[in-house]
């Protein structure tokens, strides 16, 4: 929420006013007194310049927040238990055209080179805040074609020192922001291995400490599956899933993240690191496993440009006797489909975007063009890398938020269907480059 600017007297203005209020002929000032007054004025000027820098930084932050403001619930609100409950939601439709043959039923939901237009998502949002006692909460439930699930559901508390706690299904603190480095509808490859925009069941604590923002979290399990055709994959975020009934399930995960904010200088920089460790609970004859990930990430902002970079090392340690038959791949799932992912690897990712307000265009508030690249570089020597490149723009006006994108990949389940599904994030044996042009139309209310 943007705060209105208030007119106030700066230290230098007060000092100048005080100096002018003294009659010039009232008494003779010594050289020492003049030097002292000059010193005071210089200090006041430095303080005022610092305040101007801070105001500009706040203004830039407010402009950046406009990009996500249209996606916040703006529906009716109700006074409940001394707080405010806001009701909102969204409905989205999607058009896709690209390297698609006969309809396969896999996550792309696309068919033939002629393209197709489908209903993408319907969601309901509830946001609660009580400014008196600090209690907050959020609920989001999503409906897709043939399946539905809980996306978010937590209660929390805002502490007086700026800290916040969330208990329930909440977003895992990993990477430079809620969506990793990405601005795009496709995200980057971190998302498809459960390391960006991941929702799990647990408790998260966030606190600003000077120029630092620190997150610590414990997750009992993943968020669970909803209702769909799959056994365990009717969910939004990618997790290790138990599609066979005797595979693995996520449990006892710990996350730590620290980000330092460099606020001075022309280029504002957020430099941080993220750590994750968790167990994999065997539901079959295989031994239990574990998983970990470590990431370094940075976000640089200069004027309206944002450059986000991230490098991650991840490892899922599974038994070769698991249902997939080896210890080189892991069973993942989301959007009512199971898939396979390489058990170990590196993920480099980069995104460059530009935020442009458009006051002269009546039907457009702002546009965010971007270009992104990410890759899963697998540790298994016989596996081929999985690359994803996206060129696109996000368009915002009122409650509308629209993505127009061209994605090109040689290893992503959502780009093309002319190569083997469930192999692209794992061995990626074919590694053919495929294309997809995508338009996602979203109205948020």
Q: Which of 5-9, 98-102, 427-431 has the lowest mean pLDDT?
A: 5-9
- In the structure encoding, which two tokens stand for residue 355, read together? 């935020």
Provide mean pLDDT across the span 336-362.
Answer: 97
Whole-angstrom distance, CA of residue 415 vs CA of residue 96: 10
Strand stretches in 289-432, DSSP E: 289-302, 305-317, 329-334, 337-342, 344-354, 356-357, 366-378, 386-397, 400-409
Are 386 and 411 in contact by the 8 Å Cβ rule? The answer is yes
Provide mean pLDDT across the span 303-318.
Answer: 98
- In the structure encoding, which two tokens stand for residue 241, read together? 């899933």
pLDDT above 50 (res 53): no
Neighbouring C-beta atoms of residue 210, cutoff 10 Å: 7
pLDDT above 70 (res 29): no
Average pLDDT for the chain: 87
Provide mean pLDDT across the span 327-342.
Answer: 97
pLDDT above 50 (res 357): yes
Q: How confident is the model at residue 30 (pLDDT cuts 50, 70, 90)?
A: low
pTM exceeding 0.95: no
User: What is the CA angle 39-40-46, rounded to 5?
Assistant: 90
Q: How confident is the model at residue 118 (pLDDT cuts 50, 70, 90)?
A: confident
pLDDT for res 2:
36
Q: How confident is the model at residue 3 (pLDDT cuts 50, 70, 90)?
A: very low
Provide mean pLDDT across the span 58-87.
Answer: 65
Write out pLDDT tens, residues 222-252.
Answer: 999 999 999 999 999 999 999 999 999 999 9
């Amino acid at each position: 929420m943007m705060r209105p600017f208030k007119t106030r007297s700066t230290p230098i203005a007060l000092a100048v006013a005080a100096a002018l209020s003294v009659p010039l002929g009232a008494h003779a000032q010594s050289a020492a007194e003049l030097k002292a007054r000059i010193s005071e004025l210089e200090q006041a000027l430095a303080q005022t310049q610092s305040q101007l820098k801070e105001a500009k930084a706040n203004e830039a932050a407010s402009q950046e927040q406009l990009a996500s403001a249209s996606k916040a619930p703006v529906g009716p609100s109700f006074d409940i238990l001394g707080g405010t409950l806001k009701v909102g939601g969204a409905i989205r439709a999607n058009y896709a055209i690209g390297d698609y043959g006969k309809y396969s039923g896999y996550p792309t939901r696309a068919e033939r080179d002629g393209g197709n237009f489908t209903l993408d998502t319907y969601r309901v949002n509830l946001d609660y805040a009580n400014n008196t006692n600090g209690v907050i909460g959020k609920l989001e439930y999503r409906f897709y074609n043939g399946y539905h699930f809980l996306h978010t559901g937590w209660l929390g508390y805002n502490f007086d020192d700026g800290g916040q706690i969330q208990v329930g299904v909440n977003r895992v603190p990993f990477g430079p922001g809620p969506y990793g480095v990405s601005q795009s509808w496709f995200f980057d490859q971190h998302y498809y291995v459960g390391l960006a925009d991941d929702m799990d069941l647990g408790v998260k604590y966030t606190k600003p400490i000077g120029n630092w923002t620190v997150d610590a979290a414990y997750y009992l399990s993943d968020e669970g599956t909803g209702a769909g055709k799959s056994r365990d994959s009717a969910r939004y975020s990618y997790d290790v899933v138990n599609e066979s009934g005797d595979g693995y399930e996520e449990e006892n995960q710990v996350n730590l993240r620290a980000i330092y904010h460099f606020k001075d200088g022309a280029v504002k920089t957020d430099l941080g690191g993220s750590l994750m460790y968790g167990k994999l609970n065997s539901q079959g004859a295989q031994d239990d496993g574990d998983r970990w990930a470590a990431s370094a990430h940075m976000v640089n902002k200069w004027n309206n440009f944002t450059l986000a970079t991230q490098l991650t090392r991840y490892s899922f340690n599974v038994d070769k006797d698991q249902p997939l038959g080896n210890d080189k791949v892991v069973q993942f799932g989301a959007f009512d489909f199971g898939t396979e992912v390489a058990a170990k690897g590196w993920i480099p990712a980069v995104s460059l975007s530009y935020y442009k307000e458009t006051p002269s265009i009546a039907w457009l508030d702002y546009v965010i063009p971007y270009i992104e690249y990410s890759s899963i570089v697998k540790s298994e020597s016989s596996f081929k890398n999985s690359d994803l490149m996206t060129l696109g723009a996000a368009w915002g006006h009122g409650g509308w938020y629209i993505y127009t994108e061209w994605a090109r990949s040689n290893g992503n389940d959502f780009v093309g269907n002319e190569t083997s599904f469930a192999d692209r994030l794992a061995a990626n044996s074919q590694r053919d480059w495929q294309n997809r042009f995508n338009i996602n139309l979203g109205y948020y209310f």
